[in-house]
Amino acid sequence: MMRGMSPYDPSAFPPFAVTVDLVVLTVRRHALCALVVRRGEQPFQGRWALPGGFVREDEDLGAAARRELAEETGLCAHDAGTPPAETSGAHLEQLATYGAPGRDPRMRVVSVAHLALAPDLPAPRPGGDANSARWAPVEELLEPEGAPPHSDEQQTPLAFDHGRILADGVERARSKIEYSSLATAFCPPEFTVGELRRVYEGVWGVALDPRNFHRKVTGTPGFLVPSGGTTTRQGGRPAQLFRAGGATLLNPPMLRPEV
């Protein structure tokens, strides 16, 4: 590494600040929503931003993301790869890293964005300390569709490059529930097939055939395991309750209609 100058000379490399930013997604009332916090200081004072913070010395990137997620939502996240325990926890995985020189006007900041998927939480922000936080539908947070792409600043209501980060996170979630069992991360520990279908419909923004969906998910080995109970919380005929099975990769995958 680092040809042409002495490697790892402390004066030979520029110092960076490293942060983690979180794209926390959930499905509320049939819509995909993201957690955003209101900024209290300049720059972008008063604008909405993704939650995040500095990585501490001697702290791993995933640990920093889990800490921020717990501070912001109270969720206990399991890292991707770790078997999901019985605790109420969200899925957490690294998304991408954003380090354009001008992305923060004050200093050089490299942000390791993470993607978290959580079930619909009763309280939007249990015990956070930021000024305010809310779940906002991602359509409101992303680029307005009809606007021409000429005024490249201020296109998104989010601060910094968080509009792009959110868009990347949403795209990751949309594609990943297709070939993995990740959609169950949006559900409570026990859920019905209809509730899982509404997750897919909310994330993809499409309508799915309830009959074929039922056959598909119950027929995929390892995706769902019946928990024995039933519920009528959605009205209508009582529905079987399921838990997420051990399978992580879906074969064959769920098919998103009309790409």
Partner DNA sequence: ACAAAAGTGTTGGGAGTACACCCATGT
Partner DNA sequence: ACATGGGTGTACTCCCAACACTTTTGT
Query: By the criterion CB under 7 A, which residues form the site for DNA?
Result: 192-195, 197, 209-212, 214-216, 218, 230, 232, 234-240, 252-253, 255, 257
The pair of structure tokens assigned to 240 is 């079987």
Taking the CA of residue 222 as centre, how many other CA atoms within 13 Å lie in the half-sphere pointing to its CB? 11
Give the one residue of 48, 51, 117, 193 binding its own copies; rule: CB under 8 A. Answer: 51
Burial group, residue 240, by CB count within 10 angstroms (0-12, 13-18, 19+): middle
Residue found by looking up tokens 């994330």 in the block: 203
Query: Of the ranges 3-11, 116-124, 184-192, 213-221, which one interacts with its own copies (CB under 8 A)?
Result: 3-11
Q: Among residues 160 and 223, whose Cβ is nearest to DNA? A: 223
- What angle in degrees, to the nearest 10, is found between the helix axes of 162-179 and 193-204? 140
Choosing among DNA, its own copies, none, which partner's interface includes residue 19 (Cβ < 5 to 8 Å by kind)? Answer: its own copies
Rounded to a whole number of angstroms, the minimum distance from the CB of residue 196 to DNA is 9
Burial group, residue 56, by CB count within 10 angstroms (0-12, 13-18, 19+): exposed
Rounded to a whole number of angstroms, the minimum distance from the CB of residue 253 to its own copies is 9
Dist CA 240 CA 226 (whole Å) = 7
Rounded to a whole number of angstroms, the minimum distance from the CB of residue 32 to DNA is 20
Give start and end residues of each alpha helix (H) in 158-222. Answer: 162-179, 193-204, 210-219
Sequence letter at residue 245: G
Give the one residue of 11, 41, 151, 258 binding its own copies; rule: CB under 8 A. Answer: 41
Number of residues that bind its own copies (CB under 8 A): 47
Q: Among residues 131 and 227, whose Cβ is nearest to its own copies? A: 131
40 contacts: CB under 8 Å, gap ≥ 6: 130, 131
Q: Is 148 in the site for its own copies (CB under 8 A)?
A: no
Q: Among residues 100 and 255, whose Cβ is nearest to DNA? A: 255
- Positive or negative, the CA dihedral 27, 185, 168, 58 is positive
> Which residues make up the interface to its own copies (CB under 8 A)?
1-4, 7-8, 10, 12-19, 21, 41, 49, 51-61, 71, 94, 96-101, 106-108, 110, 112, 129-130, 249, 251, 259
